[in-house]
C-alpha cells in the first residue's frame, strides 16, 4: 500500500510503499541545502516513521540532482544562535535520531553530498549511491570544522589519515572511489537508482524487524565499547531476540524447509 503524508511543496516529502518510507529532502534549487525547517522536519518525520507500524525501513534521499549541500549558507547571517547552540538544536538531534532509530535507515545518495550533507550521507545504516553521486567534506573551504558526525563516521570507515586528508583538502570522492573506500555498500546507475534503492529496501523490510532493531543497537554500542562490553551486550540482546516470535518462525521455517515469514500484523 502507498501513502503520501506530506504535500509536494514541503521541504521533506514522505511516501510509504511496501513497508518502506522514503523521506526526500526537497529544496532542489539549492541542492537540498539544509535550513532549520528542513532539519527539524526531517527529524520529526523520522520519529513519525519510527512509530508507524506500516514502516519497516526508512530511505533518506534528495530531490533533483543533489543529495544535500550542507548548511544553507544564505540562511546563516543574522542568526541569533551560536554555532554550538545551532548544532545542538538542529543537526545533532537529527544524526542521533538516525543512529538510534529502531528501524534500518538507508542513505540513498542520489547526487552531491557536501558538508553536513556528507555527514547525513554517512549516517545511514546502509549507504547506496547513484553513479554520479559524490561526497565532499567541504567544511574547510569555508574554514569550519567537520560536524554532524563526520569526525566520528569517516575515520571509522577510511582510517584517520585518509579522513584527515579528505577533510583538510576538501577532496571530492566519486562513486567508484567511495565503493573502494567503503563509503558506500552499492552503486547503482543514475537511471535506475530510485527503483534499485526501493528494491533493496524491500529486501530489508522482509527481514525480521525485531532482530534488525537489536542488531543495530548492538553494533552501535560495540563501536564505542570494549570487547567485554560487546560480549555482555550480545548476550543480553540475544535473550530479547530469542524470546521474540520471529525466532520461533525462523527455526520452524528451517525445519519445514520453507522461507520464513517475518512480516506479521503484531509487529
- Which residues in this chain contact ligand T3D in the complex, by CB under 6 A? 30-31, 33, 69-74, 76, 83, 86-87, 112, 114-116, 136, 138-139, 141-142, 144, 147
Min CB(97)–ligand T3D separation in Å: 17
| Nearer residue to ligand T3D within complex by CB, 17 or 30 | 30
Residue among 112, 122, 168 at smallest CA distance from 145: 168
Min CB(136)–ligand T3D separation in Å: 6
| Nearer residue to ligand T3D within complex by CB, 39 or 214 | 39
| Nearer residue to ligand T3D within complex by CB, 123 or 211 | 123
- Residues paired with residue 127 on neighbouring β-strands, in sequence order: 107
8 A C-beta contact, residue 90 and residue 40: yes
Min CB(188)–ligand T3D separation in Å: 20
CA 39 centroid distance within chain: 14
What is the distance between the alpha carbons of residues 8 and 26, in angstroms, rounded to a whole number?
Answer: 9
Element at 84 (helix H, strand E): helix 83-89
| Nearer residue to ligand T3D within complex by CB, 73 or 219 | 73
| All cell numbers assigned to 153 | 563516521
261-264, long-range: CB < 8 A, 24+ apart: 262/206, 262/207, 262/208, 262/209, 263/19, 263/56, 263/205, 263/206
Min CB(130)–ligand T3D separation in Å: 14
| Nearer residue to ligand T3D within complex by CB, 57 or 114 | 114
End-to-end CA distance of the chain: give it in Å, rounded. Answer: 17
Min CB(87)–ligand T3D separation in Å: 5
| Nearer residue to ligand T3D within complex by CB, 140 or 215 | 140
| Nearer residue to ligand T3D within complex by CB, 129 or 139 | 139
What is the distance between the alpha carbons of residues 159 and 152, in angstroms, rounded to a whole number?
Answer: 11
CA 5 centroid distance within chain: 20
Q: Phi and psi of 130, rounded to 5°?
A: -80, 155
Min CB(191)–ligand T3D separation in Å: 19
Min CB(238)–ligand T3D separation in Å: 39
8 A C-beta contact, residue 222 and residue 199: no
| Nearer residue to ligand T3D within complex by CB, 29 or 266 | 29
Q: String of b and e for 22-57 (b: at least 16 CB within 10 Å)?
A: bbbbbbeebbbbbbbebbbbbbebbeebbebeebbb
- Residues paired with residue 62 on neighbouring β-strands, in sequence order: 25
Min CB(163)–ligand T3D separation in Å: 17
Amino acid at each position: 500500500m502507498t501513502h503520501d503524508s506530506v504535500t509536494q511543496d514541503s521541504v521533506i516529502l514522505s511516501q510509504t510503499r511496501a513497508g518502506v518510507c522514503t523521506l526526500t529532502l526537497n529544496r532542489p534549487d539549492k541542492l537540498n541545502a539544509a535550513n532549520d525547517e528542513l532539519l527539524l522536519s526531517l527529524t520529526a518525520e523520522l520519529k513519525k516513521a519510527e512509530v508507524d507500524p506500516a514502516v519497516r525501513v526508512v530511505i533518506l534521499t534528495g530531490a533533483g540532482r543533489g543529495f544535500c549541500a550542507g548548511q544553507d549558507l544564505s540562511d546563516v547571517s543574522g542568526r541569533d544562535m551560536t554555532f554550538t547552540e545551532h548544532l545542538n538544536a538542529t543537526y545533532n538531534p537529527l544524526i542521533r535520531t538516525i543512529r538510534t532509530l529502531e528501524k534500518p535507515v538507508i542513505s540513498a545518495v542520489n547526487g552531491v553530498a557536501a558538508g553536513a550533507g556528507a555527514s547525513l550521507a554517512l549516517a545511514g545504516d546502509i549507504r547506496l549511491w547513484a553513479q554520479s553521486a559524490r561526497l565532499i567534506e567541504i567544511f574547510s573551504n569555508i574554514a569550519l570544522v567537520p560536524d554532524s558526525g563526520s569526525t566520528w563516521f569517516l575515520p571509522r570507515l577510511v582510517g584517520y589519515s585518509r579522513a584527515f586528508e579528505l577533510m583538510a583538502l576538501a577532496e571530492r570522492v566519486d562513486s567508484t572511489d567511495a565503493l573502494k573506500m567503503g563509503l558506500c555498500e552499492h552503486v547503482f546507475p543514475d537511471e535506475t537508482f530510485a527503483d534499485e534503492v526501493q528494491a533493496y529496501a524491500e529486501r530489508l523490510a522482509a527481514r525480521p524487524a525485531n532482530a534488525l532493531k537489536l542488531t543495530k543497537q548492538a553494533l552501535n554500542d560495540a563501536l564505542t565499547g570494549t570487547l567485554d562490553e560487546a560480549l555482555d551486550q550480545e548476550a543480553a540482546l540475544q535473550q530479547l531476540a530469542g524470546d521474540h516470535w520471529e525466532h520461533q518462525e525462523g527455526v520452524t521455517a528451517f525445519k519445514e524447509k520453507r522461507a520464513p515469514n517475518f512480516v506479521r500484523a503484531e509487529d
